[in-house]
Structure formats: structure tokens, C-alpha cells
Amino acid sequence: MTTTTVIVFAVVYLGMILGALPFVQLDRNGIALLGAIVLVATGDVSLEEAGRSIHAPTLILLFAFMVLSAQLRLSGFYTYVTYRLATLPVAPPLLLGALIGVVGALAAVFSNDIICLAMAPVLADACVKRRLDPVPYLLGLACAANVGSALTLIGNPQNMLIGESLRLSFGGYLREAAVPVLLGLAVTWGVIVIQVGGRWECPAPLLAKQAAPERREEGPADFDRWQTAKGLTVAALLLVVFLTAPWPRELAALAGAGLLLLSRKLHSRRMLGLVDWELLVLFVGLFVVNRAFQQTGLTAEAVRAIAGFGIHLEQPGVLFVTAFLLSNIVSNVPAVMLLLPLATHPMAGTLLALASTLAGNLLIVGSIANIIVVDAAERRGLRIDWRRHARVGVPVTIATLAITGAYLWLRLA
């Protein structure tokens, strides 16, 4: 049984590193699910054990906020906000600052991936219409969404997992994350402004394409004030509950999602169609695979062996660096699942959340938000290759992690 579990674990995490497996059409979500299926089918993990492996509060919270984001997408809220931002009568650097601030705030509540998915196409088209180069603004969108999502325990999937698994205080984490995140957003703006060097004009070939009918997006006329008000009201109430009430966050969020599904205008089929079921499958698969591997005892043996060399993974500084490195190797959600058993220090949850999230800006593949923005740009004839992204992503990552590391060091001193 141990041999099968080890092989499955190794294959699954090889898939997490590569993003796929050779000769088969499987992405990370399919690989994780297949790993869990193999363990159950071979009897290494019983159905009861598989059920106990799944952390239901995390999945419930994640699902509920997917429904909330679906409400705001269908109401045209993200399109409206992006259009209003892009048409602000301010200089390009100030426009970038406004974009980064708004995106950071939205990502802290409604998830970085959703923000990028909804805003990137509208932002690209609006920049071209204003004769501005969309690339700096798209890079600002991706980086700000990643940094901003680190502000709360609901900003991204890995933070939800950390917050629910360790039962962290929502307000307590917010207070700890506020300084590094706000400084990180300012650094993001500064890095991009320096990189642009005053060259904000849109390339001529893009101007020629702006009238192409296939590139037209939903305009602000699709904005539904009532449906937006419903979504924002539920979000605001949930934030108040998270900050002030002792109720389980996942149950409060699920109640909010249920209220939004009771709609006379937005059909539940449309809302549930925008739920990222594949991400939920990824969580389920990794929960089962990781739990099975931990029960082999090999994880504990590896930690003890590493400690024999004087490297104690549970120590805050070592855990911070390990989270950064592992997040860029296997992606942040799998990395966090592997490292959660080591989160024994009182500040471990906070540093895990910050390090794993901020690490996502380093390379395009470090975050789904980055990939979404790059894909949206490519569909509009804009090529953001890994070098172009890295010129912004690498200094932003180094600076934000340095700020966060220094802040946490001062807090622990």
C-alpha cells in the first residue's frame, strides 16, 4: 500500500510541476483527481477515509464566493468598474495607480483569478481606445490582483485553505497583512512606471485593429444596478460577519450564496455555470492524495532527516522561504497543502499565506491570474512573453517578499 501511495503522490506532484503529464490529455485538475481515484480504486484509501480527507469548510467557502463573484460578473459590475477606470481623465501614471488600487481592493474580496478574467479584456480594449499601450496596465492588473488577494483570508484559494484549516482570525490576519500588501501595491506601481519610462503610447498596429467587430466586449450598458447592489450588499454583510461575529465563515458565506441564488432574473444555471468546478476538483484530489501520503509516515521522516542537517522547516524564516520556492515549483495551492502540517508557529498561517501568494508574481506560470491576463492579451494581438512579464514580475516579487519578510521579522523580534 505504501508503494502505491508513494508512486501516486510522486506522479501527481510531477504533474503539478509540469502542468500536465506526457502522452495524456490531463491538466493539473485531472491529474489530482486521477490520483485520488487510483488510491480509492486500489484500496489504499477507503471511501470513508477519502471523505474524511476532504476539508469541507474550505470547499464550502470557496464555492460560496464563486457564486458571489458569478453574481457580480453577470450583473456587469466588473465591466462597469473597468470602463469607468479606463476613462478617468488623468495622466497615464495616475491611471495606473488608480487601477492598481481598485484591483487590489477587489481581489481582496472577490478572488484574483475572477478579477483578471472579468477585467482584462475590457481593460485592453479601453486602453487601445485611449491610445495607451495596454501592456503596462495588463501587467499592473495581474500583479495587483495577486498582491491584493493576499490582504484577506478570502482573496484566493490558498488563503481560504490556510484560514479554514488553521482557524485564523479574519480581522487578526487582515491587520498583519495590511502593511505588506499596501506597500506591495505601491511597489508594483513604482516598478511599472520605471519600466515604462514615460512611453505610454499605444503601438500603431493595435490602433488599426481597435474597430474590429470581433473584439468588441460588453459595454457599460449591460450594467445592472440592482443585481450589483445585491451582490455588493451580501459581500459587505459577509465582511462584517467575518470581522465581528463568531459564526463559522463557511456557513455564513454559504447562506449568502443561497440568498443570491434566489433570483427572479439571474437563472441558477447561469450562476452555477460560472463556478470553477475544476478548481474544486483539484482541491478534492489533492486532499485525498496528500492525506494518504502523510499517513505513510514518510513526510515526518523527511522532516526529521532535514532537521538533522540543522534545517527546521517549521521555523518561520525557513517556512517562509520554503513556501516561496515550493509555490513556484508546484503552484501555490499544492505547496500550501504540503506545508500546512508544518504550520505550528503562531505566525505560520500568516507567513504561509503571504509568501505563497506573493510568489505568484515571479513568473507567468506562478499564478492562474497571470495566465488569464496573458491569454486575454494574446487574443487581442498583444504578446506578453515570459521575458516581458519577468521584467515586471521578478522585481515586484523580490520587493514584496523583502518587505513582507522584514515586516514579519520585526513582528517576531
Query: What is the C-alpha separation between 92 and 243, in angstroms, rounded?
Result: 36
CA 285 to chain centre: 18
Q: What is the pLDDT of residue 138?
A: 96
Place of cell 486500489: 42
Residues ≥6 apart with Cβ < 8 Å to 323: 335, 336, 339, 351, 352, 355, 356, 359
Query: What is the C-alpha separation between 174 and 350, in angstroms, rounded?
Result: 9
* Amino acid making up residue 270: R
CB 39 within 8 A of CB 80: no
The strand pairing partners of 132, in sequence order, are 201
Domain positions in the chain are: 2-412
Crossing angle between the packed helical segments 332-339 and 348-358, to the nearest 10 degrees: 160
pLDDT tens digits in sequence order for the chain, 413 residues long:
688 999 999 999 998 888 888 888 888 899 999 999 999 999 999 999 999 999 999 999 999 999 999 999 999 999 999 999 988 999 999 999 999 999 999 999 998 888 998 899 999 989 988 889 999 999 999 999 999 999 999 999 999 999 999 999 999 999 999 999 999 999 999 999 999 988 998 876 666 665 554 444 444 447 889 999 999 999 999 999 999 999 999 999 999 999 999 988 888 999 999 898 998 999 999 999 999 998 888 888 888 899 888 889 899 999 999 999 999 888 888 999 999 999 999 999 999 999 999 999 998 878 888 888 998 888 888 888 888 999 999 999 999 999 999 999 998 87
CB 377 within 8 A of CB 384: yes
Query: What is the torsional sign of CA 69, 75, 76, 81?
Result: negative
HSE-CB of 311 using CA atoms within 13 angstroms: 11
Residues ≥6 apart with Cβ < 8 Å to 351: 316, 319, 320, 323, 404, 408
Grid coordinates representing 335 are 505547496
Q: How many residues does the chain have?
A: 413
Return the ∠ at Cα 193 (arms to 192 and 197), rounded to 5°: 115
Q: What is the pLDDT of residue 218?
A: 43
Q: Where are the beta strands (DSSP E) in 127-261?
A: none
Residues ≥6 apart with Cβ < 8 Å to 130: 86, 87, 202
CA distances from 319 to 151, 183, 326, 345, 410 (A): 19, 22, 10, 10, 16
* Amino acid making up residue 366: G
CA distances from 360 to 46, 147, 177, 190, 413 (A): 35, 9, 16, 18, 27
Q: What is the pLDDT of residue 16?
A: 87
Compute, in degrees rounded to 10, the torsion defined by CA atoms 31, 274, 235, 120: 90
Q: What is the pLDDT of residue 203?
A: 77
Q: Where are the beta strands (DSSP E) in 210-286?
A: none
